[in-house]
Chain A
Amino acid sequence: GAVVSQHPSWVICKSGTSVKIECRSLDFQATTMFWYRQFPKQSLMLMATSNEGSKATYEQGVEKDKFLINHASLTLSTLTVTSAHPEDSSFYICSAVDMGNYGYTFGSGTRLTVV
Chain B
Amino acid sequence: QQQVKQSPQSLIVQKGGISIINCAYENTAFDYFPWYQQFPGKGPALLIAIRPDVSEKKEGRFTISFNKSAKQFSLHIMDSQPGDSATYFCAASRGYGQNFVFGPGTRLSVLP
Chain A residues with CB under 8 Å of chain B are 6, 31-32, 34, 42-46, 49, 91, 93, 95, 97, 99, 102, 104-109, 111
Contacts and interface: CB of A to CB of B under 8 A. Distances in A.
Given A93-B44, A111-B41, A104 B105 contact: no
Interface stretch (B13-21, B65-73, B94-102): B94-102
Contacts of A102: 96
B43 A43 contact: no
Interface of B: 34, 36, 41-46, 89, 96-97, 99-105
Contacts, number: 45
11 contacts: A43-B89, A43-B105, A44-B44, A44-B89, A44-B102, A46-B101, A93-B44, A97-B97, A105-B46, A108-B42, A108-B43
B34 to A, nearest CB: 8
Given A93-B43, A108-B43, 7 more contacts: A42-B105, A44-B100, A95-B100, A97-B97, A104-B100, A106-B43, A109-B42
Nearest to A106: B43
A49 B99 contact: yes
